[in-house]
Amino acid sequence: MADSGHPDTDFPAGLANRTSASDMERKTFPRQHPEDIMTDHTPTERPARRDIGDDLVLPFTVDALDVRGRMVRMGRSVNEAIRQHAYPEPVSRLLGEIMVLSVLLGTSMKFNGKLIVQTQTDGPVNMLVADFTTPGYVRGLARFDEAAVKALSDEEARDPVRLMGNGHLVFTIDQGPNTERYQGVVALSGSLAEAAENYFAQSEQIPTRVRLAAGEVSDAQGSGWRAGAAMIQHLPPAAGSRPPEEEGSAADNWPRAMALFDTIEDHELLDPDLSPERLLYRLFHEDGVRVFDPVPVEWRCNCSREQLLETIRRFSEEERAAMVENGRITATCQFCSGTYEFTPEEVGLTGDAPEAEGTGDD
Ligand SMILES: [Zn+2]
């Protein structure tokens, strides 16, 4: 009903007016500092566990390789989010990827509020948006041309460029009213993971590798959507702070970390029987990997009756009148499909406002 490009009142406003990526160089995200990135987590060293669970972020560090990173595993959280949308399979897969990306990035930055990750592209799936709200809530939605998505062959639907086309990936941090919004933009003409890597390389100048996967997985419990992500970043100690005898071999650290990381298969990011700790152990046990306390994640929409009411009130009187059906306005949250009903009076229509239904435009 109340659909004119506003998923809800939280929708990132003014994106069309944004400045170019270079203009906002200094206004980008709160910087990640190696020393404070994980101060919220108590380092714990423990053997890999199989039963660590799902729907979590697992930060880790491989000190010997100057690497820190995180893994994200989403089971029930992403399944609930995807199922209620009932999008075509290729769109669901992208939605799973952007949701897990928002969790990956949202838990790696210091802020309180919301990180919005959004695509704006010219292909069949022209918009994907995922919001991560601290400390661990995520929701998402997609806009797409159903006929154009259906027209793609299975092989074409696996190609991110055929699905999304070309455009931008936009990151926005919103910490609430009366705070400055941080925004970053990077070109998108491939996978979401590639765009995220490019963002870190260009804007943050941190060499970064990102892997994202989403898909339907069947096991003894049945079939469900799952999503997984992994990221490593190269954060060497400041020049001169390393013992001189280690300087020579340190040059190989990042290439070695990337080579190990690149052996990760999509199914390993999705396998409910392969815990992220076991996967990390498989990759980095020779170099010594330490994990930090996991951060739980869940699918949760923060829509409310008040928010939707506010959105509807922003439409013109004529538009609001046109929303009235059988004396009621019904609005559906596009993130969670929750529905809310309002009386014409609640949305600021006077009792004698004409109902649009059947009145024509004469
Ligand atoms: Zn909602």
Which residue, of 272, 299, 326, is where some domain finishes?
A: 299
Residues 52 and 197 in one domain: yes
Residues 199 and 329 in one domain: no
Alpha carbon of 120 to ligand 1 centroid (Å): 21
CATH number, residue 281? 3.55.30.10
Alpha carbon of 339 to ligand 1 centroid (Å): 8
Alpha carbon of 308 to ligand 1 centroid (Å): 9
30: in domain: no
Q: How far is CA 222 from CA 20, 182, 207, 271, 360, in A?
A: 46, 41, 39, 13, 50
Secondary structure (DSSP) of 278-292: HHHHHHHTTT--EEE
132: in domain: yes
pTM of the shown model: 0.82
Residues 144 and 266 in one domain: yes
Widest CA span in the chain: 85
270: in domain: yes
Alpha carbon of 340 to ligand 1 centroid (Å): 10
Alpha carbon of 170 to ligand 1 centroid (Å): 22
Q: How far is CA 269 from CA 16, 180, 215, in A?
A: 35, 35, 10
CA angle 20, 95, 220 (to 5 degrees): 155
23: in domain: no
Q: Which two tokens stand for residue 306?
A: 């008040």
Residues 314 and 270 in one domain: no
Alpha carbon of 251 to ligand 1 centroid (Å): 48
Alpha carbon of 7 to ligand 1 centroid (Å): 9
Residues 155 and 188 in one domain: yes
Residues 135 and 187 in one domain: yes
Alpha carbon of 2 to ligand 1 centroid (Å): 13
Residues 325 and 345 in one domain: yes
Residues 286 and 307 in one domain: no
Q: How far apart are CA 105 and CA 126, in angstroms?
A: 22
34: in domain: no
Alpha carbon of 139 to ligand 1 centroid (Å): 8
Say what the pLDDT of residue 25 is. 34
- As for how many domains the chain has, the answer is 2
Residues 274 and 314 in one domain: no
91: in domain: yes
15: in domain: no
Of 234, 274, 281, 231, nearest to 256 by C-alpha is: 234
Alpha carbon of 202 to ligand 1 centroid (Å): 34
Which residue, of 264, 283, 299, is where some domain finishes?
A: 299
Residues 203 and 95 in one domain: yes
19: in domain: no
Q: How far apart are CA 228 and CA 99, in angstroms?
A: 10
Alpha carbon of 201 to ligand 1 centroid (Å): 34
Are 137 and 78 within 8 A, CB to CB?
Answer: no
Encode the chain (362 residues) as per-residue pLDDT tens digits. Answer: 333 333 433 333 333 333 333 333 333 444 443 333 333 344 455 544 445 678 999 999 999 999 999 999 999 999 999 999 999 999 999 999 999 999 999 999 889 999 999 999 999 999 999 999 999 999 999 999 999 999 999 999 999 999 999 999 999 999 988 888 899 999 999 999 999 999 999 888 899 999 999 999 987 778 999 999 999 999 998 877 777 777 777 889 999 999 999 999 999 999 988 889 989 999 999 999 999 989 999 999 989 999 889 989 999 999 999 999 999 999 999 999 999 999 999 988 875 545 545 444 44
Residues 135 and 215 in one domain: yes
Say what the pLDDT of residue 239 is. 77
Alpha carbon of 353 to ligand 1 centroid (Å): 29
Residues 141 and 262 in one domain: yes
Which residue, of 244, 268, 299, is where some domain finishes?
A: 299
Residue 357 belongs to what domain range?
303-362
Q: How far apart are CA 35 and CA 52, in angstroms?
A: 26
Alpha carbon of 141 to ligand 1 centroid (Å): 10
Alpha carbon of 85 to ligand 1 centroid (Å): 12
